[in-house]
Structure formats: C-alpha cells, structure tokens
Amino acid sequence: MLKTSLSALALIASAGLVAADGKHMAFDVAEDHTRIFMAATPLHDNGMPAHGNAFLSQGYIYPAGTLSDGVSGVLKDGSPAFPDTVLGTWTCDGYFVGDAGNATTGVWVISRQVFAFDSGDQIITQGTEIADIGKENLRPITGATGEYADIDGGLVQTTLGFNDFMAISATFVFEAAQDDHAQLWNMQPDAAGLEDNHLEWDSGARVGPIDDLPSSFF
C-alpha cells in the first residue's frame, strides 16, 4: 500500500499539468508592467484606480509552477524572464469595481481574460477577480478553441502576489483537473505516504508453500 500511495502522489504532482494529449491543464501568468494601461480617471486621492476605471493588460503564460516562491516572470524592460518556456500571451481587459486599486480583499475587478497559446489554442474567461493573495477564485470559461474546446467547468485563478514592478503573478488550473486531483487524493489511505492503522480481514488460511499445507485443507 505504501508503494500505491507514493505512486498516487507522483500522479497527483504531475496530473493536471500536462494532459495525455499535450494540453496544459494548469499554467502561470506573469503580467508585463510595460503593457498595463489604465484610464486617467476615476482615481482615488492616492492615485490608485477607483471604481469604474477601465484597464487593459498583457503578460506571459508559463508552465504551472514557474512562478512559485515569489519568482518574477518579467524583467525590468518587459521581456520574459524565461523566454524558452513561454507558452503564449495573456490579455486582460475590464473595469475596477468596489474599492478598486485600494482593495485588499474581495472583488476589485470585473474582467475578460484571453489566453492565446503559441499552439494556436485559445481560452476566454469572464468574471470577477479578487484582491486576496493566495485565495482561489473560479472564473467561468466563456469560449475555447483547439485542444481546449471540450474542457468542462471553469478556470480557477489564484493570485500569487505582485512583482517588483507592481504587476501581478497568478496561477490557473482548470476546475475539472482540480476535481480530479481531489478525487484521487481522497482515494488514498494516507496522502503523505504513511498509512493509518487499519484492520485487515483474516481468512484463517495458512500462508506458506503449497506443499506445506495439510491434506485436510484440500
């Protein structure tokens, strides 16, 4: 059972990142600070965008896990920090709402996000974005093409934080892939690879070579 648990852990770690058909089921996005554009008004007194402010932003799509541990995916000049692993371009447009640029929790943006992969595949989501760091937020998928056309459910966004240039880093995973992970995880006796104590059924039969069994057994 320990081997089964370890195998499941390996599957959990890899499943949902790249499917058998090659499409990425999770990915990271690094917003490019040189391609963030916001309206001149309305603004808060501190200069941050206020409710109703329109914006447009773009960034780079990377494989899932690229931006973990606070790693920034964009250099000062706006070029990708990891050009060899860029999967495509992320474009986001919408409006700030509520406390907008001053928000620290809850919905602060209503937006459309377009994930245009270099493969030609596209995903489009629309919905809310939350100001909370590290909190999951489900966005409905409103359109998809190519390998992603048959994806069910939404896309879960988790904002990882802001880089040195005040641009966001975020990670995304398909709701369906996330559910598969949870199902697989719950099937395991111990996700850490250590089994809980459990009772096993004893058949009463002896364990040993066949020729060691008494004739009365047959």
In a domain, 206, yes or no: no
Report the distance separating Cα 74 and Cα 163, nearest Å.
Answer: 8
* Residue 75, domain member (yes or no): yes
Domain presence at residue 11 = yes
> Does 39 fall in a domain?
yes
The pLDDT of residue 212 is 52
Assess contact for 153 and 175: CB atoms under 8 A: yes
User: Within the chain, how many helices (H) and strands (E) appear?
Assistant: 2, 9
Q: Is residue 209 part of a domain?
A: no
Q: How many domains does the chain have?
A: 1
Is residue 178 a part of any domain in this protein? Answer: yes
Q: Cβ–Cβ contacts within 10 Å for residue 167, how many?
A: 20
Q: What is the pTM assigned to this prediction?
A: 0.75
The confidence score (pLDDT) of residue 52 equals: 98
Rounded Cα distance between 129 and 170, Å, is 11
pLDDT in tens, the chain (218 residues): 333 333 333 333 334 455 545 578 999 999 999 999 999 999 999 999 999 999 999 999 999 999 987 789 999 999 999 999 999 999 999 999 999 999 999 999 999 999 999 999 999 999 999 999 999 999 999 999 999 998 888 999 999 999 888 999 999 999 988 765 444 434 444 444 444 443 444 445 454 444 554 554 44
Pick from 138, 130, 125, 181: nearest CA to 159: 130
Instruction: Provide the domain limits for residue 177.
Output: 2-187
Please count the CA atoms within 13 angstroms of the CA of 188 that sit on its side-chain side: 22
Would 204 be classed as within a structural domain? no
- 8 Å CB contact between 191 and 9: yes
Position 18 scores a pLDDT of: 58
Q: What is the CATH number of the domain that holds 156?
A: 2.40.480
Query: Is 83 domain-assigned?
Result: yes
Q: What angle do CA 154, 15, 24 make, to 5 degrees?
A: 55
What pLDDT does 177 receive?
A: 82
Under 8 Å between Cβ of 56 and 100: no
Q: What is the pLDDT of residue 56?
A: 98
